[in-house]
Amino acid sequence: MSEILAIYPGSFDPITNGHLDLIERGSQIFNRLIVAVLTNLEKNPLFTVPERVEMLQEATRGISNVSVDTFSGLLVDYARQKQAKALLRGIRAFTDYEYELQMALMNRKLAPDLETVFLMPALSYTYVSSRLVREVFQLGGSVSGLVPDWVEERLHRKVFQGEQPK
Ligand code: PNS
Ligand 1 atom 2, closest CA: 10
Angle at 9 between CA 114 and CA 44, to 5 degrees: 140
In this structure, whether the domain defined by 5-127 belongs to CATH 3.30.390.50 is answered with no
Q: Is the peptide bond before 14 cis (omega within 30 degrees of 0)?
A: yes
Q: Spell out the domain ranges in the chain.
A: 5-127
| Catalytic residue (choose from 43, 61, 109, 166) | 43
Are 72 and 34 in contact by the 8 Å Cβ rule? The answer is: no
Residue 25 C-alpha to ligand 1 middle, in angstroms? 21
Predicted confidence at residue 2, as pLDDT, reads: 85
Euclidean distance between CA atoms 89 and 86, whole angstroms: 10
Active site residue 43: yes
Q: pLDDT (tens digit, 9 = 90+) per residue, 22-77?
A: 999 999 999 999 999 999 867 789 999 999 999 999 999 999 999 999 999 999 99
The kind and range of the H/E element at 86 are strand 86-90
The kind and range of the H/E element at 45 are none
Euclidean distance between CA atoms 65 and 154, whole angstroms: 26
